[in-house]
Amino acid sequence: MIHLAPLYPQLYKILKPSFPDCLWSGKGDRKVVALTFDDGPHPQYTPQLIQVLAQHQAIANFFWLGCCVERSPQIAKEIYQRGNWVGIHGYDHTSFPLLTADALQLSLAKTQAAIAKACDLDPKDIRDVRPPNGLFTPRTLTLLRQWQYRPVMWSVVPEDWVRPGIDVVVNRVMHQVVNGSIIVLHDGAHGGQDVAATVAQLLPLLQAQGYAFVTIEQLWHESKL
């Protein structure tokens, strides 16, 4: 297996200016980071993660798979009620460029509806979308804009889904984090086994460096100021 972790910082530098309509990171003028978690909610790993976040009084952002929300609606509801931000990761983790426009629209709408039902939200308020595997094309972005969604990407990707070890993941994050970083971790079937322990190490280190935790909504708002 080829590990791409060393390439992600370089990819970010290339992709961010190339696709400015996506949210890649905050403006960098404040000591804040956005913790994001993909692929959940998971019936075992996500509740463990919720407890760690609560212990450290940290808020996070969750990009959910519609099929997982339908399986664990109570977990989804608890995450939202605790003040975390929620978004869409597709219905079943199929890469968006592989889908027809109709299939993509259905995947997004089904996930949006599942989140709205679980969290008692207006579907129109669930607009943030992170493409599975980080894969998109210009056409993908055109369609997302057309359907009133907001594409959210990342700036720190420690490749936790291949489970290189908790210390390795934590060290990768701490070496790359800067003001406004959007950090990607996983609480689903791939990488979720370690997520609570990883975050339990990571949060005190970030807090000791003075970082506060913000929502993706806050970063969007600041990007327009």
Kindly state whether residue 19 falls inside one of the protein's structural domains.
Answer: no
Kindly state whether residue 80 falls inside one of the protein's structural domains.
Answer: yes
Domain containing residue 122: CATH number: 3.20.20.370
Helices and strands, number each (H, E), in the chain: 9, 7
- State which residues form the domain around 95: 5-13+26-223
Kindly state whether residue 151 falls inside one of the protein's structural domains.
Answer: yes
Kindly state whether residue 217 falls inside one of the protein's structural domains.
Answer: yes
Structural domain tally of the chain? 1
Q: Which is catalytic among the residues 38, 128, 160, 194?
A: 38
Kindly state whether residue 140 falls inside one of the protein's structural domains.
Answer: yes
Tokens of 173: 């994050």
| The pLDDT value given to residue 8 | 86
**pTM given for the model:** 0.96
Kindly state whether residue 21 falls inside one of the protein's structural domains.
Answer: no
| b/e sequence 193-209, b meaning 16+ C-beta within 10 Å | bbbbebbbbbbeebeee
CA dihedral sign, ordered 47, 40, 77, 156: positive
| The pLDDT value given to residue 224 | 81
Kindly state whether residue 122 falls inside one of the protein's structural domains.
Answer: yes
DSSP label at residue 214: -
**End-to-end CA distance of the chain, in Å?**
43
DSSP string, 108-172: HHHHHHHHHHHHT--GGG--EE--GGG---HHHHHHHHHTT-EEB--SB---GGG---HHHHHHH
Catalytic status, residue 38: yes
Residue pLDDT tens, the chain, 225 long: 446 778 888 888 999 999 999 999 999 999 999 999 999 999 999 999 999 999 999 999 999 999 999 999 999 999 999 999 999 999 999 999 999 999 999 999 999 999 999 999 999 999 999 999 999 999 999 999 999 999 999 999 999 999 999 999 999 999 999 999 999 999 999 999 999 999 999 999 999 999 999 999 999 999 887
Q: Which is catalytic among the residues 89, 186, 187, 194?
A: 186
| The pLDDT value given to residue 1 | 40
Catalytic status, residue 186: yes
Kindly state whether residue 141 falls inside one of the protein's structural domains.
Answer: yes
* All residues at 6 or more sequence positions from 82 whose CB lies less than 8 Å from its CB, including other chains: 50, 53, 54, 59
